[in-house]
Amino acid sequence: MKTLVTGGAGFIGSHLADALLARGDEVTVLDNFSTGKHQNLESALAAGADLIEGDILDRELVEKTLQSVRPQTVFHLAAQGEVQRSIEEPAFDATVNVVGTVNLIEASKEIGLDRFVFASTGGAIYGEGSRIDLPASESGETAPLCQYGLSKRAGEMYLELYRRMYMFNSVALRFANVYGPRQCPKGEAGAVAIFGELLMAGRNPTVFGDGTQTRDFVYIDDLIDAILTASRTDVEGPINLGSGQETSILELLTSLREAGLSLNGDGPPAGTTFEPEFDRGRPGEVKRIAIDPARAARELGWTPTTALEEGLPLTLRAIGRQSGATV
């Protein structure tokens, strides 16, 4: 099977590329390295992946890539993924996430592809969990509170339109808060990566708001299993990929502290207190969210199996190895 992964140098895309290669696919990665890293792709390139360094906004390049690679499946993960940036630069967010996605869909339609898998969001698409029943279901309303959630919804709606107009075969996967090795702690999205790096450096975390805000965390390996399964089915429309569980930021910090202790000598430096400092909450961020994975269980046979107690130590170990390697 020939597959194209946009955003394949990023956190999730690089794990996906590794998994596709492991199942025997011929993989091409398209990435502009705006947030992705060459280091993330080392294993995929060693296993034979092709890399095209370029932008999904370059329509000619996107068309040429689809025409020459002729993938059966496109996994579209390249995106502007930061909530705060989407609020500060809404036109940029819309350009990358809407126009970029349309470029990919159009070029994919032209080659008569089998399946288009779109990385959508479960965390930012439903809106405020204090006003809706949690865990949020795909059949419920979407009322994003930030431009990023809206631009992802627009991508989903283009796919719905192309299905009606051209019988274009696609699925929109609404990821919860994904965490695991390779996640970049420099952005603002990855709470586990940000807090995990601070913990491993012996520093205190800054929490925006009072820490009672909740998120739905899903471990990268579980998510990749779901993406692979969804790509092999004909399931349509949006599918939540999350745990269905709310975890508050304060609970996450406690779990991280415990995970750090469980690493013994490989954990944070002795004397690390990891006491949170509090700052003002940020606009656009929901107070409560968890997404219902029932449809994924029913139609993909998928439920996440990695609890935070298992996934956090794995993530901290990877952060430790990473910082050890760069010292």
Ligand X SMILES: NC(=O)c1ccc[n+]([C@@H]2O[C@H](COP(=O)([O-])OP(=O)(O)OC[C@H]3O[C@@H](n4cnc5c(N)ncnc54)[C@H](O)[C@@H]3O)[C@@H](O)[C@H]2O)c1
Active site residues: 148
Binder to ligand X among 1, 45, 57, 143 (CB under 6 A)? 57
The pair phi, psi for residue 244, each rounded to 5°, is: 85, -5
The Cα-based distances of 29 to 9, 59, 67 in angstroms read 7, 16, 14
Residue 56 within binding range of ligand X, rule CB under 6 A: yes
Number of residues that bind ligand X (CB under 6 A): 30
Please confirm whether the linkage preceding 135 is cis (ω < 30° from 0).
yes
Least distance to ligand X from the beta carbon of 92, Å?
Answer: 10
By CB under 6 A, the residues from 176 to 205 that bind ligand X are: 177-178, 184, 189
Binder to ligand X among 28, 32, 170, 306 (CB under 6 A)? 32
Residue 11 within binding range of ligand X, rule CB under 6 A: yes
Smaller CB separation from ligand X, 84 or 204: 84
Binder to ligand X among 5, 36, 116, 228 (CB under 6 A)? 36
Smaller CB separation from ligand X, 89 or 266: 89
Smaller CB separation from ligand X, 181 or 268: 181
Residue 249 within binding range of ligand X, rule CB under 6 A: no
How buried is residue 164: exposed, middle or buried, by Cβ count under 10 Å (0-12/13-18/19+)?
Answer: exposed
Place of tokens 């508050």: 248
Smaller CB separation from ligand X, 12 or 252: 12
DSSP per residue, 161-230 = HHHHHH---EEEEEE-EEE-TT--SSSSS-HHHHHHHHHHTTPPPEEESSS--EE-EEEHHHHHHHHHHH
Residue 33 within binding range of ligand X, rule CB under 6 A: yes
Cross-strand pairs, 177: 217
Residue 45 within binding range of ligand X, rule CB under 6 A: no
Provide the 3-class DSSP secondary structure of residue 75: strand
CA atoms within 13 A on the CB side of 178: 28
Residue 150's nearest CA partner among 201, 79, 200, 221 is 79
Smaller CB separation from ligand X, 174 or 257: 174
Stretch that binds ligand X, among 52-60, 130-138, 229-237, 293-301 (CB under 6 A): 52-60
CA pair distance 101, 98, nearest whole angstrom:
5
Binder to ligand X among 5, 10, 86, 162 (CB under 6 A)? 10
Stretch that binds ligand X, among 74-82, 108-116, 131-139, 252-260 (CB under 6 A): 74-82
| Contact footprint for ligand X (CB under 6 A) | 6-7, 9-13, 31-36, 55-57, 77-79, 81, 96, 100, 119, 121, 123, 175, 177-178, 184, 189
